[in-house]
């Protein structure tokens, strides 16, 4: 804790609420009870005039549970004129809580006290790395495993109408997506920047995200951000996005910069990176969203293009130190991830396109992580979006022809990534358009889709197959299947076989009975097959196969 708050905490007297109100502040506790993993919100009203309420007022909430453990979280200004400040806190244990709210502004050191009750509700808490199976993740509280089925929606905050945002979230949830990547800050001339000419500025959508107050918010290159003042209505819209995603059971990965080197996106530049003002940006986001269970933090996208590794570590540590909710933290990397041993990192995120990011790549990543002595989940966060054909990709100068990144191609590549024991984040095609074309989509750029966009149905089938199993207990064992097919297994117990050949054979434990289920990964059709009790320690599908197929084998109950 810094010396400022240490000095406040050392106060031995309590200013009564009435006296604090006379000094220009009142506190309104909006709830007497709150459900576990929901957030209690304290509203602090001020009648004072501030030169800059974002810098002139410092607020800290200290929350102590019945076991004596104390969490601290900063408050945030929620009004451009400084009339409203808030503290959001998410209890992670049930029972009674006492809190102290410490306020410091010019000539005033104030304190409020209060209490509330946290009730059990069955809500999911934040994602955590599974301590028993650390290649995977679980929800705190329920202990339910999280099968990462994510998609990119960078500019979702560019939609001007909340209804479009909420409809997009609901559609993605219906299709089985449980995590979306959303930028807080980004700036582009349009989708043409990434060879997606049908995604444009329109009456409904903008590429100009403005998390700070700006003298020229409509300027692409020179918004003239005042980095000491936040654009409160913009952040309130992000509040509503996060809440709606929570209700839809979707994790929001908040990205502090997307393509930070472009146009007027980065007001700090290299000479001011990591300074007090940039730290305030990160602290403000943590203060607003650490009270929600359904977020994780991404320090930035494409860090290597505009920031140093030292800066990444600095900001990662800052987020981790300020977030009492202990949400997952990472940074978008490339084929190399130099932060795999950094204590603030919880999930390792790569970017490796096409087959360069497939089974062999993810196997190598997993092996390097294990060799480093610290097991963490491995994710290929970007491996080429559906029907997206920029002049870059897998390998130097390699480009793809149409259909090279089709929905079918991406689906099969996702299977490879999962069968290597990793996870993936995909992206729908953007060529349905925003502000152009049919103006019914936006895909990986802004998250909107329509009924013609069907790729995610194939990914929902993948999730469904894995959730039939105890997948977190399975490891890659492709030595158990014929070369070219892939296998995850807990040998003798459970197997997922992804077959890409005309024949499928898997080595089992001789004399043990297994149930066998066949799944069509293109349609989701599930076919129970005859149980097997192999005498020669193998099972083989008796017909020739065309296309890819999935087989799930489980040891039958009662077998030793």
Task: Based on the fold, state whether residues 496 and 455 are members of the same structural domain.
Answer: no
Boundary residue ending a domain (443, 467, 491): 467
Tell me the C-alpha distance between 355 and 361, whole Å: 8
Tell me the C-alpha distance between 246 and 163, whole Å: 16
The pLDDT value given to residue 560: 62
Token pair listed for 271: 């000479």
Query: 38: domain range?
Result: 3-119
What number of CA atoms fall less than 13 Å from residue 234's CA on the CB side? 21
Question: 181-195, 221-235, 391-405, 434-448: lowest mean pLDDT where?
Answer: 391-405
* CATH code for position 396: 3.20.20.80
Burial 373-408 (b: 16+ CB within 10 A, else e): eeebbbbbbbbbbbbbbeeebbeeeeebeeebbebe
Has residue 418 got a pLDDT over 60? yes
Phi then psi dihedrals of residue 532, to 5 deg: -130, 145
Question: 8-22, 252-266, 474-488: lowest mean pLDDT where?
Answer: 8-22
Boundary residue ending a domain (467, 490, 521): 467
Tell me the C-alpha distance between 392 and 195, whole Å: 11
Token pair listed for 390: 């920029």
Tell me the C-alpha distance between 469 and 462, whole Å: 12
pLDDT in tens, 200-229: 999 999 999 999 999 999 999 999 999 999
- Select from 126, 261, 125, 256 the least CA-distant residue to 182: 256
Q: Are 201 and 207 in contact (CB under 8 A)?
A: yes
Task: Based on the fold, state whether residues 433 and 497 are members of the same structural domain.
Answer: no
Provide mean pLDDT across the span 310-335. 97
Tell me the C-alpha distance between 382 and 425, whole Å: 6
Task: Based on the fold, state whether residues 412 and 319 are members of the same structural domain.
Answer: yes
Cα 313 → chain centroid: 19
Task: Based on the fold, state whether residues 49 and 141 are members of the same structural domain.
Answer: no
Task: Based on the fold, state whether residues 450 and 508 are members of the same structural domain.
Answer: no
Task: Based on the fold, state whether residues 449 and 494 are members of the same structural domain.
Answer: no
Tell me the C-alpha distance between 18 and 1, whole Å: 28
Tell me the C-alpha distance between 470 and 484, whole Å: 24
In a domain, 560, yes or no: no
pLDDT in tens, 273-304: 999 999 999 999 999 999 999 999 999 999 99
* Maximum pairwise Cα distance, the chain: 85
Q: How confident is the model at residue 492 (pLDDT cuts 50, 70, 90)?
A: very high
The alpha carbon dihedral of 227, 229, 232, 238 has a sign of positive
* CATH code for position 12: 2.60.40.10
Boundary residue ending a domain (119, 135, 163): 119
Look at strands 84-89 and 179-183 and give their pairing. unpaired
Q: Please tell me the total count of domains within the chain.
A: 3
In a domain, 46, yes or no: yes
pLDDT in tens, 62-105: 999 999 999 999 999 999 999 999 999 999 999 999 999 999 99
Has residue 1 got a pLDDT over 80? no
């Amino acid at each position: 804790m810094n010396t400022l708050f240490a000095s406040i905490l050392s106060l031995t007297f309590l200013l009564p609420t009435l006296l604090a109100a006379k000094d220009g502040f009142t506190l309104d506790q909006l709830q007497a009870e709150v459900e576990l993993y929901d957030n209690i919100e304290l509203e602090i009203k001020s009648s004072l005039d501030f030169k800059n309420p974002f810098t002139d007022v410092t607020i800290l909430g200290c929350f102590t549970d019945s076991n004596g453990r104390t969490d601290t979280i900063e408050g945030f200004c929620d009004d451009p004129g400084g009339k409203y400040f808030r503290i959001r806190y998410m209890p992670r244990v049930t029972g009674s809580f006492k809190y102290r709210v410490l306020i410091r502004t010019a000539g005033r050191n104030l304190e409020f006290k209060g209490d509330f009750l946290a009730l059990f509700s069955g809500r999911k808490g934040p994602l955590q790395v599974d301590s028993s199976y650390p290649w995977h993740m679980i929800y705190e509280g329920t202990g339910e495993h999280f099968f990462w089925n994510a998609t990119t929606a960078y500019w979702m905050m560019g939609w001007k109408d909340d209804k479009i945002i909420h409809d997009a979230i609901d559609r993605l949830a219906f299709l089985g997506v449980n995590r979306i990547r959303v930028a807080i800050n980004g700036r582009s001339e349009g989708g043409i920047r990434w060879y997606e000419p049908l995604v444009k500025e329109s009456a409904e959508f903008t590429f100009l995200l403005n998390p700070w107050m700006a003298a020229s918010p409509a300027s692409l290159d020179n918004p003239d951000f005042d980095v000491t003042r936040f654009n409160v209505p913009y952040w309130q819209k992000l509040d509503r996005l996060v809440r709606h995603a929570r209700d839809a059971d979707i994790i929001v990965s908040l990205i502090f910069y997307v393509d930070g080197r472009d146009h007027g996106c980065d007001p700090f530049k290299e000479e001011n990176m990591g300074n007090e003002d940039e730290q305030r940006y990160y602290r403000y986001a943590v203060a607003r969203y650490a009270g929600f269970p359904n977020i994780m933090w991404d320090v930035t996208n494409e860090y290597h293009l505009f920031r140093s590794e030292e800066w990444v570590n600095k900001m990662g540590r800052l987020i981790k130190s300020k977030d009492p909710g202990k949400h997952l933290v990472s940074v978008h990397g490339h084929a190399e991830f130099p932060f795999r041993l950094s204590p603030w990192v919880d999930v390792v995120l790569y970017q490796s396109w096409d087959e360069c990011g497939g089974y062999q790549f993810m196997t190598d990543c997993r092996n390097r992580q294990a060799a480093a002595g610290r097991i963490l989940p491995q994710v290929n966060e970007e491996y080429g979006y559906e029907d997206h054909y920029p002049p870059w990709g897998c390998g130097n100068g390699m480009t793809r022809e149409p259909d090279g990144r089709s929905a079918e191609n991406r689906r099969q590549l996702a299977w490879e990534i999962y069968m290597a024991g990793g996870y993936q984040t995909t992206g729908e095609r953007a060529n349905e358009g925003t502000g152009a074309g049919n103006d019914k989509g936006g895909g990986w750029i802004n998250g909107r889709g329509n009924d013609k966009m069907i790729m995610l149905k194939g990914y929902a089938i993948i999730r469904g197959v894995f959730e039939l199993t105890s997948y977190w207990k399975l490891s890659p064992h492709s030595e158990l299947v014929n070369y070219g097919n892939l296998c995850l297994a807990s040998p003798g117990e459970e197997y997922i076989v992804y077959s890409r050949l005309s024949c499928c054979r898997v080595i089992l434990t001789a004399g043990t009975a297994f149930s066998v289920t066949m799944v069509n990964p293109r349609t989701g059709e599930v076919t129970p097959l005859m149980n097997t009790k192999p005498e020669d320690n193998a099972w083989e599908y008796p017909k020739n196969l065309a296309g890819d197929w999935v087989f799930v084998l489980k040891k039958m109950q009662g077998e030793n």
